[in-house]
Amino acid sequence: MEPDDSTQTRTHDATLGLRLTQSLLAALEVPMKTFYSGSRDVLWWIRGRGKDFRPFKANRIGEIQMFTEPSQWQHVSTEENPADLCTRGATPSELAECSLWWNDPSWLTDDFSKWSKMKVLDKPSEMPGMRKSKKKEDINAYATLMT
């Protein structure tokens, strides 16, 4: 994986989250599964066709699609995502005092109908990791045989 390719990292993170959930579900009985990603791009890709992506991303998107439905994936804003606290530079002492870090977003304790629901996504303006479409053209070739 290229270290500077954040789209690969985000796709890989979603795949790892799925694998962790599968391990937990093997040990626990959980009636419903909802996955959250802070990346709208990843959510768009999950709703796409794996074959439209380059191999690294296609493999991970394919794995996600094999075990989940796109409707199981929702968006969590960076302000409500405890995992984003560290990426925004929170110090250990700030984390120790942070309610979001210890309790997750408050809506997770509400009835499921009140949980954060993703609106219909617009297609991202750029789709990094997509295969370049090749334009097919008909070519007519003629040969003349001279004897």
- CB 18, CB 99: distance < 8 Å: no
- Strand (E) positions, 31-146? 35-37, 73-75
- CB 38, CB 78: distance < 8 Å: yes
Give domain status of residue 104, yes or no: no
How many domains is the chain built from? 1
Q: Could you give phi then psi for residue 28, rounded to 5 degrees? A: -120, 155
Give domain status of residue 80, yes or no: no
Give domain status of residue 102, yes or no: no
In whole angstroms, give the CA distance from residue 130 to residue 48: 11
- DSSP annotation of 77 reads -
Give domain status of residue 110, yes or no: no
Give domain status of residue 20, yes or no: yes
pLDDT, position 146: 57
Q: List per-residue pLDDT tens for the chain, 147 residues long.
A: 444 467 778 888 888 988 988 888 888 877 778 888 888 888 888 988 777 888 888 888 998 999 899 988 988 888 889 988 988 899 999 999 999 999 888 888 888 777 766 665 556 555 555 555 554 554 555 555 555
pLDDT, position 121: 57
pLDDT, position 98: 93
- DSSP annotation of 75 reads E
Give domain status of residue 40, yes or no: yes
Q: Domain containing 141: what range? A: 5-75+117-145
Give domain status of residue 63, yes or no: yes
Give domain status of residue 91, yes or no: no
